[in-house]
């Protein structure tokens, strides 16, 4: 088998990269260890920055997004028993769009040509520092194959094989709390997102559609799902959010650890990392999917310049440019996380409240927060 670009991973980063490359006339083959149904069922991020929406529209992927996406011009911060609205559009001239990551993936799979190779195993990357790398794998029928290519794009997440093929320096941080998240078949309790700082811990009210609500609670890192029956979850959400949430059937329930991670560099020879293979941000800042889209938007241009025109400048600078954006996103996401979560340290807890009060009382501070939230012109 032969192609120009082997894309490892059929998440939003890998699928979008392959789509953008095909629009430029390049061949790309996508390999994925999971089955198609699993890829479509993964419930992840739902907040799209305007830059992300622009990329999807320009790639011909905006039809369903424009019909079903929910435009939001602000969000609420709730603390000290009061609500403080961050007016994104008023402060920045921009808005965000709520549209689930799994919906983006569905749009990408509907547009994919050819279909990704799902259910592969034993994926190994070879000769990535040469101009003739390859990928060996076993397909879903148990047949061993070799995919020869000119470039490999590692879009297979933190636990994938691509990151381990790059001699990276890893910078990591684990936070002393986790998120208990649910997706429920119930109308949202508020027309915008709510970020709540409460004495019992952080809570987030989000949505995926007018019928689906996404909700999160700060819990201890060693918390067990069995300790959180549905009645307890809904009671705690109402208490922390200060909003009457109507209980509904749960579509998903899980606990996610809170961590940050950056791998440096994001390029090794002809192997390029993108998305969660290169960086993970705390979800509080809603940056993960947006960062991945910005990665592959730049990478598609760099690979087009390299493979079609023989110019390697953008490919050589890709890692440096995207790492600067990754660290901007890490900075903002970490600040949001520490500001909104309940800390067991009295000093940190009082700092969090001081930061929130400043945002609520200072137009300059609220504007800075809003600009970070909607995404900078530099793609972070």
283 is catalytic: yes
- Reduced to 3 states, what is the DSSP secondary structure of residue 90? helix
Q: How far apart are CA 185 and CA 179, in angstroms?
A: 19
341 is catalytic: no
Task: Give me the catalytic one of 99, 177, 318, 373.
Answer: 373
Task: Give me the catalytic one of 72, 190, 198, 205.
Answer: 72
Task: Give me the catalytic one of 195, 205, 282, 341.
Answer: 195
Q: For residue 55, how many C-alpha atoms fall within 13 Å in the half-sphere facing its CB? A: 27
Task: Give me the catalytic one of 116, 133, 283, 318.
Answer: 283
195 is catalytic: yes
Q: What is the dihedral of CA 359, 365, 370, 373, to 10 degrees?
A: -80
94 is catalytic: no
Would you give the distance in Å from CA 83 to the centre of its chain?
A: 27
Q: How far apart are CA 68 and CA 100, in angstroms?
A: 10
H/E element, 360: helix 346-361
Residue 319 contacts residue 169 (beta carbons within 8 Å): no
Give 284's contacts (C-beta < 8 A, 6+ positions apart): 195, 204, 333, 336, 337, 340, 341
373 is catalytic: yes
Q: How far apart are CA 207 and CA 284, in angstroms?
A: 14
Residue 275 contacts residue 289 (beta carbons within 8 Å): no
Give 85's contacts (C-beta < 8 A, 6+ positions apart): 74, 75, 76, 77, 192
Instruction: Just list the catalytic residues.
Output: 72, 195, 283, 287, 373
């Amino acid at each position: 088998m032969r192609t120009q670009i082997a894309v490892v991973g059929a998440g939003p980063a890998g699928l979008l990269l392959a789509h953008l490359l095909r629009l430029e006339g390049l061949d790309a083959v996508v390999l994925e260890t999971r089955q198609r149904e699993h890829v479509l069922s993964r419930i992840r991020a739902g907040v799209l920055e305007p830059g992300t929406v622009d990329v999807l529209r320009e790639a011909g992927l905006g039809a369903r997004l424009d019909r079903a996406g929910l435009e939001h011009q602000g969000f609420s911060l709730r603390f000290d028993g009061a609500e403080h609205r961050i007016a994104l559009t008023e402060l920045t001239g921009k808005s965000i769009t709520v549209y689930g990551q799994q919906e983006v993936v569905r749009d990408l799979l509907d547009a994919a040509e050819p279909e990704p190779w799902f259910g592969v195993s034993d994926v190994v990357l070879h000769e990535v520092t040469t101009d003739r790398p390859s990928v060996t794998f076993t397909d879903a029928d148990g047949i061993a194959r070799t995919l020869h290519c000119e470039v490999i794009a590692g879009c297979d997440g933190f636990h994938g094989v691509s990151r381990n093929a790059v001699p990276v320096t890893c910078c990591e941080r684990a936070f002393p709390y986790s998120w208990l998240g649910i997706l429920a078949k119930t109308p949202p309790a508020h027309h915008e997102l709510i970020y709540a700082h409460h004495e019992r811990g952080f809570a987030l009210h989000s949505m995926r559609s007018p019928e689906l609500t996404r909700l999160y609670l700060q819990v201890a890192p060693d918390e067990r799902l069995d300790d959180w029956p549905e009645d307890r979850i809904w009671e705690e959400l109402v208490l922390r959010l200060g909003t009457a949430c109507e209980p509904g059937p749960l579509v998903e329930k899980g606990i996610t650890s809170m961590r940050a991670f950056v791998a440096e560099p994001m390029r090794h020879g002809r192997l390029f990392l993108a998305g969660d293979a290169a960086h993970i941000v705390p979800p509080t800042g809603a940056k993960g999917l947006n960062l991945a889209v910005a990665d592959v938007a730049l990478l598609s241009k760099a690979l087009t310049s390299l493979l079609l025109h023989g110019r390697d400048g953008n490919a050589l600078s890709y890692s440096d440019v995207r790492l600067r954006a990754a660290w901007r996103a890490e900075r903002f996401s970490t600040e949001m996380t520490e500001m909104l979560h309940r800390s067991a340290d009295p000093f940190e807890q009082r700092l969090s409240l001081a930061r929130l009060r400043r945002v609520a009382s200072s137009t300059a501070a609220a504007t800075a927060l809003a600009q970070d939230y909607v995404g900078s012109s530099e793609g972070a």
